[in-house]
Amino acid sequence: MSNVPSDLKYTKSHEWVRVNGATATVGITDHAQRELTDIVFVELPEIGRQVKAGDGCAVVESVKTASDIYAPVSGEIFETNKMLADDPALVNREPYGSGWFFKIRLSQPDELDRLLTPEQYQAQIGE
Amino acid sequence: MLKRTALFAAHQKLGARLIDFGGWEMPLQYTSIVEEHLAVRNAAGLFDISHMGEITVSGAAAEAFLNRVLTNDIRQLTPGLGQYTLMCNPRGGVLDDLYVYRLSDEVYLLVVNASRTAADVAWLQSQRETFPRRDEVSLTDASHNYSAVAVQGPRVKEFINAVIPGAAISARRANAVSDLKKNEIGGFRSEHGGVLVARTGYTGEDGFEIIGSDEALRHVWDRILELGTPRGLKPCGLGARDTLRTEVCYPLYGQELDEQTTPLEAGLGFFVALGKGDFVGRNALVDQKTGGVKKKLIAFKMTGKSAPPRPHYAICSGGQKVGQVTSGTQSPCLGVGIGMGYVPPELARPNTEIEIEIRGKNFPAVVVPKPIYPVAGRRRMG
């Protein structure tokens, strides 16, 4: 049974979004890290990159395969999680904590309304 | 509709994540590829390999026929002994790589790749039709009669005799399963019917492959879990099977081997007996041996921080594409990206610096001797 915190928003592609005023922190869900298991590398976007909602902007690699991570909302990437370079398994251990991926300065805050609620995400993963 | 093995219910019970592997619904992993991989290196692991094909070839001319269609010298096999070998087309391209066991004077068992079974049977049948002594050779695809498991790892010998007790009654007459030596095969009685046990595997570790009826193998699977788990054994999926064989540089058909690639290019010349007399592909292989190969299979390690290499990534040298990765992953034992791939022979020497192109960027790697991860006490291959 995967953890789906009630204070976050979600995407169909298994990212989570923590909104903090005009910025948002993005990571992958507990369900996603379980599906991937054994995460060995995370490729993060460059600081300053402008992304549109739905753009592929990071890659997470497990032993078995590489998976794209998409920007849940539009804006500018202003911070990435440097700890993941040395310890990518943080994503497995703390997907909603120190295993976060990047932070976005929102350019279209109304996009947040299109994200999934915890209940909708829970229903999607069927748990 | 995917095919399922007789152990499918056992996989479901263990919560396996399943994938389509050559038309078979097989376990990718039960818990974690890394955990399963390390269990095999440090203790033991249990794999369902029932998807593999079994072909029996028998008769007074079976030996002569097999020596014509396979590259290794089958005359080295006494009853109860097996060998790794390849089957080539007339151009020397690999149709399949396989194990052939001599079960008795005139009976041989071929264990072939699941994805190649149908093609192998068709090829063998067509070769038999043009074989002068065809009336003295019979050939049967026995795959549907058999299930099979592999149990691999340094601690397997501690419990295997309790799983299958007693002495062999056919092939190599060993007093116990653990008395079998590398590549030997014995027929043993089990509670639920006879099983063939061979001391071989695809992980680089000591271990056994066990072949028998569905019912016998369901019993063997349960007994291995029961007796092995207290010694650190884990059920293992195809994910760990792939990382284990990549660390020791065993080829996988469809990745390192195909009909356009010869055993010499793949570094498998040890298993090609050019001196044994004529066989299918020999002329092409002799020419290649004399004239040299145009590509060679290398093993490599990433030398800096990078994403793991994957099949089909470009191998570069001085910024130019020179070849392609055939297998690649993060090595669970070494903690670095490793892989195999084909390059021109002048770039195949160990310590040659190369680059792997990963999503448009080149990352440094170095050619290393095979195997990439040397398992203690094992002869080097290739």
| Beta strands, E only, chain B | 17-21, 24-29, 44-48, 53-58, 81-88, 94-104, 107-112, 138-141, 147-152, 170-171, 185-188, 195-198, 207-212, 233-235, 296-302, 314-317, 320-330, 337-343, 353-358, 361-368
Query: B51, B63 in Cβ contact below 8 A?
Result: no
Interface probe with A: pick from B36, B247, B306, B330, most Cβ of A within 10 Å: B330
Q: Say if the Cβ atoms of B306 and A38 lie within 8 Å.
A: no
Evaluated on CA atoms B34, B37, B41, B46, the torsion sign reads: positive
Question: By the 8 A CB rule, do B53 and B28 touch?
Answer: no
Pairing state of beta strands B44-48 and B233-235?
parallel
Chain A environment of B29 (Cβ under 8 Å) = 37, 64
Residue-wise pLDDT for B208-229, tens only, equals 999 999 999 999 999 999 999 9
Beta-carbon count within 10 A of B179 CB: 15
DSSP code, position B59:
S
C-alpha gyration radius of chain A: 13
Contact A63 B330 (CB under 8 A): yes
Nearest by CB to B308, which of A37, A61, A85?
A61
What is the torsion angle, in degrees rounded to the nearest 10, for the CA atoms of residue B69, residue B74, residue B78 and residue B83? -90
Q: Which of B295, B297, B261, B267 is nearest to B281 (CA)?
A: B261
pLDDT digits (tens, 9 = 90+) for B293-338: 999 999 999 999 999 999 999 999 999 999 999 999 999 999 999 9
Q: Which two tokens stand for residue B348?
A: 């195949």
Of the candidates A62, A63, A85, the beta carbon closest to that of B305 is on A85
The CATH number, out of the four listed (3.40.50.720, 3.40.50.1370, 3.30.1360.120, 3.40.50.970), of the domain defined by the range B8-49+146-246 = 3.30.1360.120
- The owner of tokens 């990047």 is A102
Mean of pLDDT over chain B: 96
pLDDT by residue (tens digit) across B337-372?
Answer: 999 999 999 999 999 999 999 999 999 999 999 999
Matching fold, domains B53-143 and B294-371? no
* B225/chain A closest Cα distance in angstroms: 23
What DSSP letter does each residue of B282-297 carry, written as one string?
HHHHHHHHHH--S-EE
Query: Is-contact B221 B149, C-beta < 8 A?
Result: yes
CA-nearest residue to A67 within chain B is: B307
**From B18, which residue of chain A is nearest by alpha-carbon distance?**
A35
> Binning pLDDT at 50, 70 and 90, where does residue B190 land?
confident
Query: What is residue B78's three-state secondary structure?
Result: coil
Q: What are B132-172's pLDDT values in tens digits?
A: 999 999 999 999 999 999 999 999 999 999 999 999 999 99
Using beta carbons and an 8 Å cutoff, which residues of B are at the interface with A?
28-29, 31-34, 239, 243, 305-308, 310, 329-330, 332, 359
pTM of the model: 0.95
Q: Which of A37, A65, A91 best tests the B interface by mutation, with the highest count of B CBs <10 A?
A: A37
Our CA-based measurement puts residue A64 at a distance from the nearest CA of chain B, in whole angstroms, of 7
Chain A interface, mutation test: which of B20, B26, B28, B32, most A Cβ atoms within 10 Å?
A: B32
Residue A45 per-residue DSSP state:
P
What's the ipTM?
0.90
Q: A63 vs B359: CB contact, 8 Å cut-off?
A: no
How confident is the model over B85-134, as pLDDT tens digits?
999 999 999 999 999 999 999 999 999 999 999 999 999 999 999 999 99
Q: Decide: helix, strand or coil at residue B61.
A: coil
Continuous segment of H or E residues that includes residue A38 = none
DSSP string for B229-243: GGGTEEE--HHHHHH
Contact B299, B368 (CB under 8 A): yes
Q: How many CB pairs under 8 A join A and B?
A: 40
Q: How far is A82 from chain B (nearest CA, A)?
A: 14
Spatial distance between the Cα atoms of B367 and B350, rounded to a whole number of angstroms: 5
Domains of chain A and CATH, by start: 9-113 (2.40.50.100)
| Amino acid present at A24 | A
Q: Tell me how far the alpha carbon of residue B83 is from its chain's centroid.
A: 11
Check pLDDT > 90 for residue B174.
Answer: yes
CATH of span B294-371: 2.40.30.110
pLDDT value, residue B371: 97
Confidence of residue B382 (pLDDT cuts 50, 70, 90): very low
Which residues of chain B have a CB within 8 Å of the CB of A41?
306-308, 330
pLDDT score for B177: 98
Question: Which one of B33, B305, B307 has the shortest CB-CB distance to A59?
Answer: B307
Q: B250 to chain A, minimum CA–CA distance in Å?
A: 18
Is the dihedral angle over the CA atoms B7, B8, B10, B15 positive or is it negative? positive
- Is B34 strand, coil or helix? helix
pLDDT confidence of residue B376: 65
Reply yes or no on whether the pLDDT at B379 is more than 50.
Answer: no
Q: What are the residue boundaries of the structural domains of chain B, listed by start? A: 8-49+146-246, 53-143, 294-371
Is the pLDDT score of B380 beyond 70?
Answer: no
- Quick: pLDDT tens for B18-75: 999 989 999 999 999 999 999 999 999 999 999 999 999 999 999 999 999 999 999 9
Residues of chain A with pLDDT under 70: none
Q: What is the mean pLDDT of residues B187-205?
A: 95
CATH level 3 topology of B53-143: Alpha-Beta Plaits (3.30.70)
Count, residues in chain A:
127
